[in-house]
Amino acid sequence: MYTATNILVCEQDEAYTVLNRYNPKTHTFEGEYSLLHNAYSQNSYFLSRFLMDHRGHSLMLIDSEDERYFHIRRTYRHEREEDIERYMEEQSEQRKEEENDLTAKQSIGQLQLLVVKKMIEQQRESIQNQESHTERDTYVLLGQDFAYGWSVNTINRIVDFGNIS
Ligand SMILES: [Zn+2]
């Protein structure tokens, strides 16, 4: 079943939509294939459109092992075939936009972290310049210095990790 190409056929209208291979792991079809993008739609857009357009009609799912398959592909109408490239183009544009958005958000996030780091470093510097008059003061200042140092190191690690990925 996995290697066979599936089509959903409406006999009444002599039309079909191509579902391509069925993935038993995700329980989804590959969807219509775009030559231009060398990719499958990987969603149910064309399937859903077909189901809606043929409400109330008897539909038949057949695969390329079926003897009727090639006859149907030759003689029936491949529904919305002319929409495939345009749809895939839109999908790919949308994906690019989402990736750009994500990159922009990540850069803003990094910038915010660097601003926070600068603020912590300034705090740490002022602690380090403070004179302590008692032993207790010294411990408090050392503790604060340690906490600020830990925060700066943590931010450095996060920023480095972001740069790698
Ligand atoms: Zn129909």
**DSSP string for residues in 23-84:** ETTTTEE---EETTTTEE--SSHHHHHHHHHTTTS-EEEEETTSTTHHHHHHHSEETTGGGH
% of the chain residues with pLDDT over 70: 96
CA of 59 to the centre of ligand 1 (A): 7
Q: Which of 70, 53, 89 is nearest to 7 (CA)?
A: 70
Q: Which helix or strand (DSSP H or E) is residue 145 part of?
A: helix 135-164
CA of 58 to the centre of ligand 1 (A): 7
**Which whole number is the average pLDDT over 87-102?**
94
pLDDT at 153 over 90: yes
pTM of the model: 0.66
What protein residues have CB closer than 5 angstroms to ion ligand 1? 10, 12-13, 54, 57
CA of 89 to the centre of ligand 1 (A): 27
Asked which of 89-93, 97-101, 135-139, 147-151 is least confident by mean pLDDT, the reply is 135-139
